[in-house]
Amino acid sequence: MMQMMKTNNSREIAFECLQKVFKHKAFSNILLNEISKKDIPQKFKNLVFAIVHGTIINKILLEKTVSKLIDNKKTNLDIQILLWMSAYQIRFLKTIPLYAVVNEAVSIAKKINPRLSGLVNATLKKVINNEQELFSFNELSEEQRVIIENSLPESFYNLFKEQYGSKIAMKLAKDSTKKPSIYFRVNTLKISFEDFFQTYKQELSLIKTFTKDCLITKVPIVQSRMYAEGLITVQDAASINVVNILDPKLNDHVLDMCAAPGGKVTHISSKLKNTGKVIACEINESKIKLIQQNIDRLGCSNIELICKDATSMKFEEKFDCILLDAPCSGFGVFKRKPEIKLKGYTKNKINEIIQLQSNLLDNAYQNLKVSGEMVYSTCTINKLENQNQIEKFLSRYSNMKKIYEEQLFGYENNTDGFYVCKMIKE
Ligand SMILES: C[S@@+](CC[C@H](N)C(=O)[O-])C[C@H]1O[C@@H](n2cnc3c(N)ncnc32)[C@H](O)[C@@H]1O
């Protein structure tokens, strides 16, 4: 195995990331976060991000295209990954010189196995010369074509079609390859929404959105001064929408049962203007530090952080308001975490998650005051974890009433797909 950890070459770095994703099931957002800290020019980083994200998002399309030219069984996975990422650049990154794509791929191939560099060279020249034909799947039905062109595993398409019909399933397939918008939340503990908007609307090309406290920008903002000072935090509009629906009131006693990395709990804190008390619970100890960093950066002073299993914790005092932003399949975040899409749909794993959600809901009920309100949310569009889960919950507790329910698919406003249900304990 070649050693490339110390390289500054964008394509070598991208290749190494993709190996980790495809061979070792690593998550690209974690790898890319590490790369964003590397001391290399921003334009090199941008190329790495584009290649890694684009190759994962389009993996099925790239694999089917490349396999028209090579025998997958006779070609090792490293060479296939190299061909997928190079075919991605040829097809989708039109400003990159084609000779650079081929030369760099050949030079990486020489490090993997010098005998295969000729194969890489010849295959990529064929992709360049026959691009339109190789990337077209006109012989297939429209449904089949759309799922290949958008690299959606058939198991997902079938699940969405069964739950919502083919029209919505097709829209979901097409949406899964879109570039997500950069949404963020203005931290009203430090600046009012209008002041922030007026001050930075030009500099950050700001656009208002469908949900309160949330803006869109075209400029990367994680490295910005406004971010470091805690004026803003990056969060998808659909996620911001959840706490807007929860709508906790000043001085409320609030429980967030599953809090990491802290996007929603810090939003709750800002809604309360640091009054009342918020208990933020998270089972995973390694994520506690992340929540604390967000709490400190955003200036939240009413949050108590606890590391516990939220299926069984009990409190002396019950809560006015509970958020259960449950662990879920993540079928609403394909655009942001394309690895989830590539894993395909397996019933057993989902059944475990559904049971955990159900146990969490039962304990939320136990900890909620009479007249208290709770929100159950997930970043999935899977009905079994959403509407069906809530129907079963409501049938277990006759004094729980649904007061609001919303399923965002993600294609409406280019957000994540999110389910939100607000209930009251009578
Ligand atoms: C969807 S994420 C929460 C996102 C968070 N609300 C936010 O907005 O930043 C779900 C979290 O629940 C945590 N979790 C899973 N099982 C749990 C349990 N039994 N008790 C508490 N937390 C749990 C996971 O570690 C994960 O961090």
DSSP notation for 313-368: ---SS-EEEEEEE-----TT-TTT-HHHHHH---HHHHHHHHHHHHHHHHHHHHHE
* Residue 281 in contact with ligand 1 by CB distance below 6 A: yes
The per-residue pLDDT string of the chain (426 residues; one tens digit each, 9 = 90 and over) reads 444 445 678 999 999 999 999 999 888 988 988 888 888 888 899 999 999 999 999 999 999 999 999 998 888 999 999 999 999 999 999 888 999 999 999 999 999 999 999 999 999 999 999 999 999 999 999 999 999 999 999 999 999 999 999 999 999 999 999 999 999 999 999 999 999 999 999 999 999 999 999 999 999 898 899 999 999 999 999 999 999 999 999 999 999 999 999 999 999 999 999 999 999 999 999 999 999 999 999 999 999 999 999 999 999 999 999 999 999 999 999 999 999 988 878 888 899 999 999 999 999 999 999 999 999 999 999 999 999 999 999 999 999 999 999 999 999 999 999 999 999 999
Query: 153 C-alpha to center of ligand 1: Å?
Result: 26
Scored b (16 or more CB within 10 A) or e, 168-195 reads ebbbbbebbbeeebbbbbbbbbbbebee
CA–CA gap between residue 95 and residue 93 (Å, rounded): 6
Binding residues for S-adenosyl-L-methionine: 258-264, 282, 309, 325
Query: 33 C-alpha to center of ligand 1: Å?
Result: 21
Residue with token string 């200036």: 299
What is residue 372's predicted lDDT score, i.e. its pLDDT?
98
Q: Among candidates 124, 128, 125, 150, which has minimal Cα distance to 137?
A: 150
406 forms beta bridges with 420
What is residue 27's predicted lDDT score, i.e. its pLDDT?
87
What is residue 41's predicted lDDT score, i.e. its pLDDT?
87
Query: 325 C-alpha to center of ligand 1: Å?
Result: 7
Backbone dihedral angles phi then psi of residue 57, each to the nearest 5 degrees? -60, -35
ipTM: 0.99
* Residue 417 in contact with ligand 1 by CB distance below 6 A: no
Q: Model-level pTM?
A: 0.93
169 Cβ partners below 8 Å, 6+ apart? 157, 160, 161
Whether cis (ω within 30° of 0) applies to the bond prior to 97 is no
Backbone dihedral angles phi then psi of residue 98, each to the nearest 5 degrees? -65, -35
Give the number of other CB atoms < 10 A from CB of residue 318: 16
Query: 191 C-alpha to center of ligand 1: Å?
Result: 28
* Residue 290 in contact with ligand 1 by CB distance below 6 A: no
* Residue 311 in contact with ligand 1 by CB distance below 6 A: yes
Q: How far is CA 150 from CA 72, 140, 153, 249, in A?
A: 21, 14, 9, 43
* Residue 258 in contact with ligand 1 by CB distance below 6 A: yes
Ramachandran assignment for 290, one of left (phi > 0), alpha (psi -120 to 50 degrees), beta (any other): alpha
- Name the token pair of 341: 């899409």
The alpha carbon of residue 322 and the mean position of all alpha carbons in its chain are separated, in whole angstroms, by 24
- Which residue blocks in 58-141 are alpha helix, DSSP H? 59-66, 77-92, 98-112, 117-129, 131-134
- Own/partner pairs for 166-172, CB < 8 Å, 24+ apart? 168/409, 170/143, 170/146, 171/409, 171/411, 172/381, 172/409, 172/410, 172/411, 172/417
Is 379 considered catalytic here? yes
Task: Assess contact for 420 and 373: CB atoms under 8 A.
Answer: no
What is residue 3's predicted lDDT score, i.e. its pLDDT?
43
What is residue 6's predicted lDDT score, i.e. its pLDDT?
59
CA–CA gap between residue 9 and residue 11 (Å, rounded): 6
Pocket test residue of 184, 213, 282, 292 for ligand 1, highest count of atoms within 8 A of CB: 282
Residue nearest to ligand 1 atom 15, measured at CA: 327
Binding residues: 258-264, 282, 309, 325
What is residue 348's predicted lDDT score, i.e. its pLDDT?
86
Q: How far is CA 222 from CA 90, 203, 289, 385, in A?
A: 30, 15, 18, 32
Dihedral of alpha carbons 47, 48, 51, 56, sign:
negative
In ligand 1, which atom is closest to the CA atom of 242? 8
Identified catalytic residue from 17, 281, 300, 379: 379
CA–CA gap between residue 206 and residue 187 (Å, rounded): 15
What is residue 405's predicted lDDT score, i.e. its pLDDT?
98
Give the number of other CB atoms < 10 A from CB of residue 332: 28
* Residue 264 in contact with ligand 1 by CB distance below 6 A: yes
* Residue 323 in contact with ligand 1 by CB distance below 6 A: no
Pocket test residue of 255, 283, 333, 357 for ligand 1, highest count of atoms within 8 A of CB: 283
Residue 403's Cβ-count burial label (10 Å; 0-12, 13-18, 19+) is exposed
Query: 327 C-alpha to center of ligand 1: Å?
Result: 5
Query: 282 C-alpha to center of ligand 1: Å?
Result: 6
Q: How far is CA 209 from CA 197, 202, 206, 416, in A?
A: 12, 16, 10, 14
